[in-house]
Amino acid sequence: MKFVHIADTHFDAPFTKLNEKGEFGKIRRLDQREVFKKIIEYIKQNEIEYLFIAGDFYEHTYIRKSTIEYINNLFKTIPETKIFITPGNHDPYIKNSMYADFNWSENVKIFTSKIEIIETEEADFYGVGFDNFYSVNLGVENIQIKNKNKINILITHGDLTGSDKNPISKNKLKQLGFDYIALGHIHKPDYNSEPNQNIVYCGSTVSLGFDELGKHGFIVGNIENKKLQIEFIPADNKEFIELELNISDVKDFEELTEKINNIYLEKNGLYKIILTGKRNFEIEILNLYKLIIQNNIIKIKDETRPNYNLEEMKNSYSLKGLFIQEILEELKKENYTQEQLDKILEIGLSVLEK
């Protein structure tokens, strides 16, 4: 049996941070649609029998009916594919949800907070979803497989790290005996961190921000004679990327602006530039944004330290001089890291200058 496993599409997410930089939020919502359409086309072309959607399919607060209609029309183009959806903490199955109120395509099964089994000739599919935004435990660790001679699949939204969003013990999951467990909630793919892995996070289909670096897409799997084969397929042609730029040798604001504008950036990259090193001038981030011509620079973060001449400053007959002498002594003792002392130095000097 062939399947595709996706999760955490977060349709109609507001992309608040991206909207601070032009129209990137709207563009990213279009990207969500394009990637999903690409996945449906893959299913169609490769005659995939099952599609697992393991929660956070959409954003309950922001989802539009037009978006659900777009999704459902795509579902109708793959009528031979059985689609299983387990709601998550962002899209719970509640009274006024799209899951409850919308007339979904006939090939779609939406699970509720009661564990259900969908039995087919070749496999049994176990699913359970959220019925509120804070479900603590959905009880998946207590499942007893009905027929171990068949292929058994579990689909749910939960956290192996032990948060309050359906915390699950990985060891207990392994003991249940499922052939494949399709998980959602963690946006980074996890499918090859151990041999013969069958408890899988597919990650989000598109990256939602700089806390989701790397490739994003979907999992394709095949189970024959109880043997599992899986593959991760990147689908998001854009990628959030962080670049560090050491500006210790940059003399002024104009030179910094020119340096950033001359960085080579990939066309489909969405960049955060992290300024590092010792600064020789004050950096005004808001003014810097206005002068940057590279449109795919989304964020600039200042992690520089002031470039103080400590040897010269310690010889002054002042409180600053005495403060610098103490800092240098601490540096010799190695009681603090260089980063910690730099922060103490910056705060102390700013107070003494007032």
pTM to 2 decimal places: 0.83
More confident residue, 77 or 194: 77
Q: Mean pLDDT across the stretch 24-29?
A: 84
Q: 8 vs 16, 168, 200, CA distance in Å?
A: 17, 18, 13
What three-state secondary structure class fits 334? coil
Please say whether the beta carbons of 52 and 18 come within 8 A.
Answer: no
Indicate the domain borders of the chain. 2-234, 238-307, 311-354
Q: For tokens 């956290």, what's the residue?
A: 159
Residue type, 243: L
Min mean pLDDT across 43-47, 224-228, 260-264, 330-334 is at 330-334
Query: How many whole angstroms separate alpha carbon 157 and alpha carbon 201?
Result: 10
> What's the full length of the chain, in residues?
354
Please say whether the beta carbons of 10 and 59 come within 8 A.
Answer: yes
Query: How many whole angstroms separate alpha carbon 158 and alpha carbon 169?
Result: 10
| Tokens representing residue 7 in the block | 């999760």
Half-sphere exposure (Cβ direction) of 233: Cα atoms closer than 13 Å: 16
Most confident of 5-9, 132-136, 335-339: 5-9
Residues 6+ apart with CB under 8 A from 29: 11, 12, 13, 15
By CB atoms closer than 10 A (0-12, 13-18, 19+), residue 272 is middle
Return the sign of the alpha-carbon dihedral for residues 86, 91, 96, 98.
Answer: negative
Q: What's the confidence (pLDDT) of residue 123? A: 96
Q: What's the confidence (pLDDT) of residue 295? A: 85
| Tokens representing residue 188 in the block | 């980074």
Q: What's the confidence (pLDDT) of residue 268? A: 87
pLDDT over 80 at 72, yes or no: yes
Kindly indicate whether the domain formed by 2-234 is annotated with CATH number 3.40.50.300.
no
Query: How many whole angstroms separate alpha carbon 50 and alpha carbon 183?
Result: 15
pLDDT over 60 at 354, yes or no: no
Please say whether the beta carbons of 108 and 77 come within 8 A.
Answer: no
pLDDT over 90 at 135, yes or no: no
Q: Mean pLDDT across the stretch 44-70?
A: 96
pLDDT over 80 at 332, yes or no: no
Q: What's the confidence (pLDDT) of residue 117? A: 97
Min mean pLDDT across 77-91, 132-146, 169-183, 331-345 is at 331-345
Min mean pLDDT across 110-114, 148-152, 230-234, 266-270 is at 266-270
Q: What's the confidence (pLDDT) of residue 134? A: 85
Band of residue 226 on the pLDDT scale cut at 50, 70, 90: confident
pLDDT over 60 at 24, yes or no: yes
Average pLDDT, the chain: 89
Q: Mean pLDDT across the stretch 91-116?
A: 96
CB atoms within 10 A of CB 115: 17
Min mean pLDDT across 101-115, 165-179, 327-341 is at 327-341
pLDDT over 90 at 348, yes or no: no
Band of residue 275 on the pLDDT scale cut at 50, 70, 90: very high
Band of residue 34 on the pLDDT scale cut at 50, 70, 90: very high
Strand positions, DSSP E, the chain? 2-6, 50-53, 82-85, 108-110, 116-119, 123-127, 151-157, 180-184, 199-201, 217-224, 227-234, 239-246, 269-276, 278-279, 297-302, 305-306
Band of residue 27 on the pLDDT scale cut at 50, 70, 90: confident
